[in-house]
């Protein structure tokens, strides 16, 4: 189901697949992200095949559940339901209030419109380890940050305390 989000400052339309995109998972949990995305798009111009937008809304809009970790944190890894990549989790810590939203957009092939590929509350994060988009920043970031576990749907048989890519 393709949904029109809005128009960027340079008059380019932006859409999201509310069923089959990474953004769909976030929007299903937090529907107000669509309104925040439309607000952010009005203020930015889109250029290039892939665009990352970090936007300061100017007011607190929610919490960032990815926190910096220390040796005091208990860490475990698991695959979220519907995900084949492992996520680094911790049960102890507090989310931080934020006024930032991040949008990852991709231009449609042969078209001037963009698709919202991913969206989350908080600043931009490097791609997860093991993903095809992994960057040189991914390893340093994800070895020092984790998602606060608060009952998210995970695949129980994938839970491990050893980093799954440690042997790679």
The model's pLDDT over 67-82, given as tens digits with 9 standing for 90+, comes to 999 999 999 999 998 8
86: three-class secondary structure by DSSP: strand
pTM: 0.86
- pLDDT level of residue 27 (50, 70, 90 thresholds): very high
How far apart are alpha carbons 81 and 37 in whole angstroms?
Answer: 25
Q: Helices 22-29 and 33-41, interaxial angle, to 10°?
A: 120
Structure tokens that stand for 108 in this block: 């449609």
């Amino acid at each position: 189901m393709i949904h029109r989000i809005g128009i960027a400052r340079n008059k380019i339309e932006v859409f999201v697949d509310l069923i089959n995109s990474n953004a769909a998972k976030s929007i299903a949990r937090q529907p107000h992200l669509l309104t925040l995305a439309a607000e952010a798009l009005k203020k930015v111009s889109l250029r290039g095949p892939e665009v990352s937008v970090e936007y300061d809304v100017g007011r607190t809009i929610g919490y960032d559940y990815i926190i910096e970790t220390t040796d005091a944190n208990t860490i475990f890894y698991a695959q979220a339901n519907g995900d084949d990549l492992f996520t680094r989790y911790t049960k102890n810590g507090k989310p931080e209030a934020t006024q930032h939203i991040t949008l990852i957009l991709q231009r449609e092939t042969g078209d001037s419109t963009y698709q919202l590929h991913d969206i989350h509350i908080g600043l931009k994060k490097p791609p997860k380890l093991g993903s095809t988009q992994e960057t040189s920043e991914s390893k340093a970031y994800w070895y020092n940050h984790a998602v606060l576990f608060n009952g998210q749907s995970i695949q129980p048989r994938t839970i491990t305390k050893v980093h799954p890519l440690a042997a790679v």
